[in-house]
């Protein structure tokens, strides 16, 4: 029975080549478009859904109505973060993303364009980004001793040994304490970051 249907279909295809080609080609195009749309819809529905708190993460956007023109941007001032947290107790945490391209001129007057990205530390409290898995770099706890040593050399932190610890077989643990110079430098960097966030919207490409 099925074999007879195949024979009839084949004979009709040979007899009406143009008509059959149009039908088959149209069906193939329709199925392809349907699959592409399905893949796009599936991607949109699963966008960033791998985060544990995906259903509680929202993006703040700006809407502009002017001269019968409506515009919507995912861009706001950096100061909105703290203001929203203070004014809306429902907001538990927030993170700011910043991106800007700089034109940097070196000593040979060659211009290099570099794109800079910056985020708050709270990104890891909101999003479930596995930096080690994505970067392919294994982060070891011992890797911090190099930077700590440089901070000690600059006088920003001071190292000292603890009392002998029984859980370490009587060995001492090396501890670090922030010095007054380190506190001043930390405050300076904090003010620099704050100024960067506040002025980010007004920065233009400049030769630095």
Asked if pLDDT for residue 201 goes beyond 50, the answer is no
How many angstroms separate the CA atoms of 155 and 150, rounded?
Answer: 9
Tokens 């030769």 identify what position? 207
Please state the rounded mean pLDDT for residues 32-46. 91
Place of tokens 């670090």: 176
Per-residue pLDDT, 140: 66
Percent of the chain at pLDDT exceeding 70: 86
How many angstroms separate the CA atoms of 104 and 113, rounded? Answer: 6
How far is residue 101's CA from residue 92's CA, in Å, rounded to a whole number?
Answer: 31
Q: What is the pLDDT of residue 206?
A: 43
Predicted pLDDT of residue 31: 94
The CA-atom distances, in angstroms, between 174 and each of 61, 131, 139, 177 are 47, 27, 20, 10
pLDDT tens, position by position, 130-164: 766 666 666 666 677 788 888 888 888 888 888 88
pLDDT exceeding 90 applies to what percent of the chain?
Answer: 12
Q: Quick check: 17 pLDDT over 70?
A: yes
Q: Residue 190: in which H helix or E strand, if any? A: helix 180-199
Written as six digits, the tokens of 118 are 């910056």
In the chain, where are the structural domains located?
2-45, 54-202
Query: Residue 175 in contact with residue 162, Cβ under 8 Å?
Result: yes
């Amino acid at each position: 029975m099925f074999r007879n249907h195949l024979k009839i279909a084949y004979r009709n295809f040979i007899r009406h080549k143009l008509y059959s080609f149009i039908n088959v080609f149209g069906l193939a195009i329709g199925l392809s478009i349907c699959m592409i749309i399905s893949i796009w819809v599936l991607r949109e529905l699963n966008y960033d859904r791998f985060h544990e708190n995906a259903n509680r993460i929202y993006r703040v956007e700006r809407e502009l109505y002017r001269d019968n023109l409506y515009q919507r941007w995912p861009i706001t001032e950096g100061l909105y973060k703290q203001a929203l947290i203070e004014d809306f107790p429902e907001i538990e945490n927030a993170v700011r993303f910043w991106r800007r391209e700089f034109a940097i001129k070196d000593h040979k007057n060659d211009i290099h364009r570099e794109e800079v990205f910056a985020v708050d530390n709270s990104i890891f409290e909101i999003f479930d980004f596995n930096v080690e898995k994505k970067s392919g770099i294994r982060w070891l706890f011992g890797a911090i001793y190099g930077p700590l040593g440089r901070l000690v050399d600059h006088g920003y932190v001071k190292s000292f040994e603890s009392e002998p610890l029984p859980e370490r077989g009587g060995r001492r643990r090396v501890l670090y304490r922030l010095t007054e110079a380190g506190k001043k430098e930390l405050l300076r960097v904090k003010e620099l970051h704050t100024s960067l966030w506040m002025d980010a919207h007004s920065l233009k490409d400049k030769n630095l």
